[in-house]
Structure 1
Amino acid sequence: MTWYFLLLAVIAAERVVELGVARRNSAWTLGRGGVEHGRDHYPWMVALHIGLLAGCVLEPAVTARPFVPVVGWTALALVAASQVLRWWCVRSLGPYWNTRVIVVPGTPPVRRGPYRFPRLRHPNYVAVAVEGAALPLVHGAWLTALAFTGANAALMTVRIRCEDTALRQPATA
């Protein structure tokens, strides 16, 4: 189980890096007249992601479930794929990527990277959903996977509605 805890530490460190990127990008977009939307749901999103990592640590430790190779390795591959997709999104959005919803009025939508596929409107959220379901399953934390997936689905309903509304705001907003 030590390697699993190391994996979780790497994922937690990645979140810290993401927050640094988001902070830099927030300053950049706000400096260009960006407007933040959806502040009310943001603390819930932070709490959910902290809860995911906590559940990934606690559930396997408390239940002492064994590593099941076919599930664990498949879930690990999905975690890796979600990381590739997430960082492709970050790179494609450049300074517009953020953990918050900040829109610079009058800026056209990004249409590169995974955002060039019109049917995949929110690829970063696909990465979050896949990672949130798969990361706990790497070491059998299926209760955490279920809880995160349900809570994330509810939160993403709010988040995507907020983001879509913000992106439709007129250029003078």
Structure 2
Amino acid sequence: MPAYVMIFVAAALLLRLSTLYVSVKHEKALKRAGATEYGAGNSIVLALAHTAFYIAAIAEGVLRTAPWNDALSWLGMALYGLAALALGAVIRSLGPLWTIKIIVSPNHRLVRSGLFRLVRHPNYILNILPELVGFALALNAPVTLIVGVPLYLIPLFIRVRQEEAAMRRHFSDYA
């Protein structure tokens, strides 16, 4: 694995850990304010799936015996970078409401600005899916990509349905 890919992996892990820190901080504040969490079990499954995807892609990249495809790595890193920008925009739009879980506070407001104006679930569509594809491409990990993404989609689809139900429960104008 080339050194630039190792640096990318370190940066990606740092980004994920820093967003986890922000999420935990927001979650604690929301729950102190009386917020309710939905789909807790699926949140655990998603966290495990995300971690497993990263581990599988890294292992596949490290154990790779075929010639390294630099163009694929650069494409993957670019896609990952765009996904990270989308995540930043989502966090900025939601502010202290953003977590990696489905948590709705009593004074929750429905956000329809930023990327939410364009896409109903920008964190999933513009961040998570491109992030996973980009990470696997950057690590030249086609097996992880081909097997991991479809498997990840199972709990992600469940998450979207759970989030939709929670939003409809709390917002009468959520269609």
Give the TM-score normalised by the residue count of structure 2: 0.89
Describe the SS at the equivalent of 1:99. coil
**1:62 pairs with 2:63:** yes
For the residues of structure 2 that align with 1:51 and 1:65, how far apart are their CA atoms? 23
Unmatched tracts of structure 2, length 5 or more: none
User: What are the within-5 Å matches in structure 2 for residues 124-139 of structure 1?
Assistant: 124-126=123-125, 127-139=127-139
Match of 1:153 in 2: 153
User: What are the within-5 Å matches in structure 2 for residues 64-83 of structure 1?
Assistant: 64-83=65-84
Describe the SS at the equivalent of 1:162. helix
**1:43 pairs with 2:44:** yes
User: What are the within-5 Å matches in structure 2 for residues 1-173 of structure 1?
Assistant: 1-105=2-106, 107-117=108-118, 120-126=119-125, 127-170=127-170
Does the 8 Å contact 1:65/1:140 carry over to 2?
A: no
Give the TM-score normalised by the residue count of structure 1: 0.90
- Give the number of equivalent residue pairs: 169
Unmatched tracts of structure 1, length 5 or more: none
Query: RMSD over aligned Cα, in angstroms?
Result: 1.5
Does the 8 Å contact 1:129/1:152 carry over to 2?
A: no
Q: Relative to structure 2, which stretch is displaced further, 29-38 or 104-113?
A: 104-113
Q: Letter of the aligned partner of 1:166 in structure 2?
A: A
Q: Relative to structure 2, which stretch is displaced further, 84-93 or 105-114?
A: 105-114
Describe the SS at the equivalent of 2:37. strand
Describe the SS at the equivalent of 1:107. coil
Q: Percent identity?
A: 24
Write out the 4+ residue segments of structure 1 that deviate beyond 4 Å after TM superposition.
Answer: none
For the residues of structure 2 that align with 1:170 and 1:57, how far apart are their CA atoms? 40
* 1:26-48 CA distance string (max 9 Å, x none): 12211222100001112211111
